[in-house]
A and B are shown apart, each in its own frame.
Chain A
Amino acid sequence: MPEEKPITPAESGTDIDRRSFFVKLGLGSLSIAAAGTAAFSYQFLSPNVLYEPSPIVNAGKPENYPVDSVTLDVNSGIYLVHAKEGFFSLSAICTHLGCMTAWKPELGIIACPCHGSKFYVLDPKKVPGTKIEGPAPRPLPWLQTSLSDEGDLMVDRSKQIDPMKFLRV
Chain B
Amino acid sequence: MAKTIANYFEELRGTRVWRSVFRSGTGSSTLHRSLAIQQNVFLHLFSTKVRTRMLSFSATWYLGTLTFGTFLILVATGIPLMFYYHPSVPQAYADTKDLQFVVSSGLFLRNLHRWSAHAMVFLVFAHLFKVFYRGAYRPPREFNWVIGVVLLLITLFLSYTGYLLPWDQLAFWAITVGSNIASAAPVIGNKVHFLMLGGNVVNANALLRFYVLHCMILPLIAILFIAVHFWRIRKDGGLYVHQSEPKTVAASAAAAKGAQ
Contact = CB atoms under 8 A, between A and B. Distances in A.
Contacts of A114: 173, 177
Contacts of B179: 98
Given A97-B180, A97-B181, A98-B177, A52 B203 contact: yes
Contacts of B203: 51-52
B76 interface: no
Contact of B177 (A46, A47, A52, A97): A97
A47 B205 contact: yes
Interface in B161-217: 173, 176-177, 179-181, 194-195, 198-201, 203-205
A46 B176 CA distance: 19
A42 B194 CA distance: 11
A99 B176 contact: yes
Contacts of B180: 96-98
Interface in A31-60: 42, 45-47, 50-52
Nearest to A51: B204
Contact of B194 (A46, A96, A97, A99): A46
Chain B's interface size range is 10 to 19
Contacts of A42: 195
Contacts of B205: 47, 50
Contacts of B198: 45, 47
Given A46-B194, A51-B204, A98 B176 contact: yes
Contact of A99 (B177, B199, B200): B177
A51 B179 CA distance: 19
B201 A99 contact: no
A96 B176 CA distance: 11
B204 to A, nearest CB: 7
B13 to A, nearest CB: 49
B173 A99 contact: yes
A98 B205 CA distance: 18
Nearest to B194: A46
Contact of A52 (B173, B176, B181, B200): B200
Nearest to A158: B200
A31 to B, nearest CB: 22
A46 B195 CA distance: 6
Contact of B199 (A52, A96, A97, A98): A52
A122 to B, nearest CB: 26
Contacts of B181: 97
Contacts of A46: 194-195
B132 to A, nearest CB: 31
A45 B176 CA distance: 19
A52 B195 contact: no
A89 to B, nearest CB: 18
A114 B177 CA distance: 9
A50 B200 contact: yes
B184 to A, nearest CB: 8
B7 to A, nearest CB: 59
Contacts of A45: 195, 198
Interface in B23-52: none
A98 B172 CA distance: 11
Interface in A46-88: 46-47, 50-52
Interface of A: 42, 45-47, 50-52, 96-99, 114
21 contacts: A45-B198, A46-B194, A47-B198, A47-B199, A47-B205, A50-B199, A50-B200, A50-B205, A51-B204, A52-B201, A52-B203, A96-B180, A97-B176, A97-B180, A97-B181, A98-B176, A98-B177, A98-B179, A99-B173, A99-B176, A99-B177
Given A52-B203, A96-B180, 7 more contacts: A46-B194, A47-B199, A47-B205, A51-B204, A52-B200, A97-B181, A99-B173
